[in-house]
C-alpha cells in the first residue's frame, strides 16, 4: 500500500505537468510541445506501472477491485490521450485530461484515507 502512496501522487504530478506544458505551448512557447509529448508517454508509462503496482500489492478488500479497475480505465484514457494529441482532436483531448486528473485525485484520496 505504501508504494501506491508514492506512485499515485507521482502519476498525478506528471499529469499536472502536462497541463503546465500545454499552457506554455498555447502561450506561444513552441519548445513546450516536445516536452508535452515526452511527458505524455511518461504519464502513460506511469499509468501502466500503477496497474502493475495495484496487482502486486496486497490491498484492503474494499479498495482492491475499484482501484484496479479505475487504474485500468485511467490508463486506457491516457493511451487515448496520446492518440488524440497526435491527431489534434482537442475536443476529446482536453475534456479527457480533466477526467484523468479527477480520477487520479480520487484515487489519491482513497489511498491516503485507508
- Tell me, what's the pLDDT at 78? 98
Report how many domains make up the chain.
1
User: What would the pLDDT profile of 62-83 be if each residue is shown by its tens digit?
Assistant: 899 999 999 999 999 999 999 9
Handedness of CA 5, 11, 16, 17 (dihedral sign): positive
30: three-class secondary structure by DSSP: coil
pTM: 0.93
Which pLDDT score is estimated for 114? 73
The 10 Å Cβ neighbour count of residue 94 is 13
Q: What is the pLDDT of residues 13-39, one digit of tens each?
A: 999 999 999 999 889 998 899 999 999
Residue 78 structural domain: 4-113
DSSP 94-113: HHHHHHHHHHHHHHHHHHHH
Amino acid at each position: 500500500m505504501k508504494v501506491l502512496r508514492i506512485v499515485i501522487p507521482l502519476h498525478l504530478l506528471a499529469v499536472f505537468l502536462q497541463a503546465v506544458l500545454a499552457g506554455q505551448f498555447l502561450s506561444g512557447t513552441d519548445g513546450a510541445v516536445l516536452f508535452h509529448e515526452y511527458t505524455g508517454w511518461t504519464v502513460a508509462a506511469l499509468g501502466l506501472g500503477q496497474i502493475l503496482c495495484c496487482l502486486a500489492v496486497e490491498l484492503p478488500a474494499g479498495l482492491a477491485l475499484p482501484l484496479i479497475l479505475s487504474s485500468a480505465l485511467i490508463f486506457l484514457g491516457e493511451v487515448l490521450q496520446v492518440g488524440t494529441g497526435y491527431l489534434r482532436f482537442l475536443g476529446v483531448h482536453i475534456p479527457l485530461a480533466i477526467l484523468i486528473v479527477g480520477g487520479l485525485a480520487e484515487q489519491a484520496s482513497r489511498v491516503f484515507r485507508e
